[in-house]
Amino acid sequence: MTTAKIRQMKQAGEKITMLTAYDYTLASLLDEAGIDTILVGDSASNVVSGNQYTLPITVDEMIFLTRGVVRAAKHALVICDMPFGSYQISEEDAVRNAIRIMKESGCDALKMEGGEEILPAIRHIIQAGIPVCGHLGLTPQSVNQFGGYGLRAKEEAEAAKLMHDAQLLDQAGCFMIVLEKIPAALAEKVAKAVACPVIGIGAGSGVDGQVLVLHDMLGLNQGFKPKFLRRFAELGDALKNAVNDYITAVKDASFPSNEEQY
């Protein structure tokens, strides 16, 4: 999978699939199942490390997680999130961090949250030959500014800014844009207005593809139930049942059986 193929998929009207992954084992399964793109999201801060926000995760941690995913991906395009603080200080710092993540993780592309305010950094990174995926709408690295994880761009002014930002990112050469938690009608308008593919999460069906956090859609993260989330499995229950069976079998000495020992 390449960024060029991703763009062709939009032109051909073929929906693009993306899921997050943060380790070799699960990324291998996603790749074997035929996913188009794997996002090593900074949601790893929540999912892997148990932080409340995405802000604490570091460049070193993102590189460590992404390496495992890259080793697993034989087909899928691997995108790594640039973590909070790695592209806001200066353009030079942003390019340095972007090059470091590409070199040390082996990923195919980077994702960055924000519009016009980070455009100079995005332009410099693209000029360095690195494909960039934009991310607009609910951008969790700005949660402290937003004051929560509510629906974004409900009001006309914010919707107009989002459309403007999407067009700027498209013109700057972003190969893809993620739109998170915005009204479906606005997301569809954006997807029609830009040449690059638009991937939605909580942004309705009128976009060019969908992304979900793997642990949410598999039912591993059992407390998180926003309206946009469909659980495609209940692996949290399956996992707890398996662990309960293991505990019982060890306690009653039925595991290991004669066949399970040397």
Rg (CA), the chain: 20
Whichever of 42 and 170 has its CB closer to ligand KIV, that residue is 42
Record the tokens describing residue 195, joined without a space: 């040449």
Q: Are 95 and 122 in contact (CB under 8 A)?
A: no
Question: Smallest distance, Å, CB 253 to ligand KIV?
Answer: 43
Q: Which is nearer to ligand KIV, 1 or 212 (CB)?
A: 212
43 touches ligand KIV (CB under 6 A): yes
**Nearest CA to 137 among 88, 213, 203?**
203
Per CB under 6 A, which region of 36-44, 69-77, 155-163, 228-236 contacts ligand KIV? 36-44
Q: Are 4 and 11 in contact (CB under 8 A)?
A: no
Q: Which of 91, 117, 180, 260 is catalytic?
A: 180
At closest approach, how far in Å is the CB of 66 from ligand KIV? 12
- ∠ CA(104), CA(139), CA(105), 5° rounding? 10
Q: Rounded CA gap, 130 and 12, in Å? A: 24
Q: Is 234 a residue of the active site?
A: no
Q: What is residue 27's three-state secondary structure?
A: helix
Bridge partners for 209 per DSSP: 16, 199
Q: Which is nearer to ligand KIV, 9 or 252 (CB)?
A: 9
Residue 165 interacting with ligand KIV (CB under 6 A): no
Instruction: Figure out which of the listed residues 3, 9, 41, 197 binds ligand KIV, where binding follows CB under 6 A.
Output: 41
Q: What are the tokens at 95? A: 């390019």
Evaluate whether 115 touches 122 at the Cβ level (below 8 Å): no
> Could you tell me if 194 and 174 are in contact, meaning their C-beta atoms sit under 8 angstroms apart?
no
Q: Does residue 105 interact with ligand KIV by CB under 6 A? A: no
Stretch that binds ligand KIV, among 39-47, 68-76, 121-129, 166-174 (CB under 6 A): 39-47
The residue within the footprint of ligand KIV, chosen from 42, 165, 188, 208 (CB under 6 A), is: 42
Which of 27/201 has CB closer to ligand KIV? 201
| Footprint of ligand KIV on 183-202 (CB under 6 A) | 201
The contact pattern for ligand KIV, residues 79-98, with x = CB under 6 A and - = no contact, is --x-----------------
Nearest residue to ligand KIV, by Cβ distance, number only: 41
Distance, CA of 143 to CA of 86 (rounded, Å): 17
- Nearest 5°: the CA angle 106, 73, 128 is 30
Which residue ranges make up the site for ligand KIV (CB under 6 A)?
20, 39, 41-43, 81, 135, 178, 180, 201, 211, 213
